Structures are given as C-alpha cells and as structure tokens.
Amino acid sequence: MEHYHPIIRFVVEGGVPIQTAVLLLMLPIVATLVAFFRQIVGIKAFGIYTPSIVTFALIAFDPNGLKYGIAIFASVIFVGMITRFILRRFRLLYLPRVAITLSVISFSILCLLVFGGYYHRTGLAAAPIFPILIMITISEKFVAAQIEKGTKTALILAAETLGISLIGYALLSWSAFILFLVEYPWTILFTIPLNVFIGKWTGLRLSEYVRFARIIRQK
C-alpha cells in the first residue's frame, strides 16, 4: 500500500479491488503488444480481441495458468477443427454451424474436466468457469478463419494467437512489472504515442524480411 501511487491509493480507497485496477491498467499494454506484433513483427493472430482476452484468461487460470490454459486452448482448437470436418458435408448455414461447433466443444471440455477430476488433477476440475467460456467462444474465430483461409492458415493463426497470449501472460504475471504499474500508473499513457508511431509505421514487417528474402538477396 505504501508503494502505491496516490491515484491507485485513491482508487483502492474508493472500494475498487486492486486486482481490478491492475487488470484495467494492463489492458492497454496487452493491446499495444498485439498491435506491435501485427505491424512490426508481422504475426497476425485472430485480430486484437482474441489474443488479449486469451491473455487475461490465462491469468485467470492462475496459479496453474500455463498448464491448464494451454491444454484447454489446444482442446478447443482441436475439437473445433474436427467438428468442422464432420459438419462440412451437411452444408449448414454459418451461425447454426458455429452453434453446433460450440456445443460439441462444451461437451468435450466438460469431459476433459471430469477426466481431470477422476485422475486427481483437481486443479483442472476446479478451473474457474469464465476463462473456460472465453476459450470456448474463441473457437468461432477459428471456424471463421478455417472457412475463409483454410485449415492450415487457421492453425497458424491459432498458434500465433497462443504465442502472443503467452508473451502477454509472461509480462503481466511478472511481479516487478505489476509493482511498477501501481507505483507509476501514468506510464500507461505512453502506449498512446507508441501506438501512433506503430500506426504510421510503413517499414517492412520482420516477417516480410523473410518472405522477400529472395528479392533482398538478389539486389
């Protein structure tokens, strides 16, 4: 409490839990991270919402965030992919098809939790429900990408999403970083000029140096 910046102290004394305040302060940082990865590094992922929300889901899974988070993420993608292959020949309209996919994933995750419970992985069985629901709903993004860009691209995008989320998770669960945030919350404002810079960046993305390596070598 004594390290808190006056603003944070004011917020906390107003009755807002410190966790809530910290998470809200972290959102701009995660969003900036995603923007950075897209524009400068060239890692696409599923937009900005999905990697951000998955990052927070991973944090919500703590203390076993990584283990269970990754397991559930991978199961969702895997089951989503299989369901799509089964449903394809029925030629259903988009939303009903996604609804069925979500149902199948829900059942599968339930099975996974029960399975975990019986094998004495109580941490898995007792995993909080909201991050699980978040993980399930991102399967829509996956199905949409699968339809539009093909399974291979969708899998790459899913892996990229998980990758960015893991980096975000590492940053956000770093205690020194959290302490820094509550001590100097105004530093969050720097994300705005940083994003203006990223938004005006017209240089090649790092991934494009690889993509166009042939041309660069040629010159």
Partner 1 sequence: MFEALRKSSGILGMNARNLEYIRPLNRKRGRNIADDKLLSKRVLRKAGLPVPKLIATIRNNESLEQFDWSLLPGGFALKPNRGFGGEGILVVYGRKKNRDDAWVKADGSLVTIEDLRAHIRNILDGSFSLTNSPDIAFFEERLTLLKSFKPYSYKGIPDLRIIVCNRIPVMAMLRLPTRQSSGKANLQQGAIGVGIDLATGTTTTAVIGKSHIIEYVPKTRLALSGIRIPYWKEILRIAIESQNVSGLGYLGADIAIDRERGPVLLELNARPGLSIQIANLDGLKGRLDRVKDLRVKTTERGMTLGMNLFGGEIEEELEEISGKRIIGPVTKTKLVGRDGKTEIEVEAKIDTGADSTSIDIDLARRLGFNDTVDGYLKAAKDWQEISELSGGERWKMFEHIPGVVATIPVKSASGTTYRVAIRIEIVVDGLRVPARATLIDRSNLEYPVIIGRKNLSRFLVDVTK
Residue numbers at the binding site for partner 1 (CB under 8 A): 39, 42, 91, 93-94, 147-148, 200-205, 208-209, 211-216, 218-219
**Are residues 122 and 63 in contact, defined by beta-carbon separation less than 8 angstroms?**
no
Whole-number minimum distance, CB 129 to partner 1, in Å? 30
**Are residues 54 and 61 in contact, defined by beta-carbon separation less than 8 angstroms?**
no
Whole-number minimum distance, CB 90 to partner 1, in Å? 12
Give the length of the chain.
219
Instruction: State which H helix or E strand residue 98 sits in.
Output: helix 94-118
Whole-number minimum distance, CB 137 to partner 1, in Å? 17
Nearest to partner 1 of 1, 215 (CB atom): 215
Nearest to partner 1 of 12, 35 (CB atom): 35
Rounded to an integer, what distance in angstroms lies between the CA atom of residue 88 and that of residue 94?
11
Rounded to an integer, what distance in angstroms lies between the CA atom of residue 198 and that of residue 181?
22
Whole-number minimum distance, CB 202 to partner 1, in Å? 4
Nearest to partner 1 of 94, 177 (CB atom): 94
Whole-number minimum distance, CB 215 to partner 1, in Å? 6
Nearest to partner 1 of 54, 145 (CB atom): 145
Nearest to partner 1 of 120, 200 (CB atom): 200
Nearest to partner 1 of 94, 119 (CB atom): 94
Rounded to an integer, what distance in angstroms lies between the CA atom of residue 96 and that of residue 48?
25
SS (H, E, C) 11-53: HHHCCCCHHHHHHHHHHHHHHHHHHHHHHHHCCCCCCCHHHHH
Cα dihedral sign for 152, 155, 159, 160? positive
Rounded to an integer, what distance in angstroms lies between the CA atom of residue 40 and that of residue 90?
41
Rounded to an integer, what distance in angstroms lies between the CA atom of residue 143 and that of residue 111?
21
Whole-number minimum distance, CB 165 to partner 1, in Å? 22
Cα dihedral sign for 88, 93, 99, 103? negative
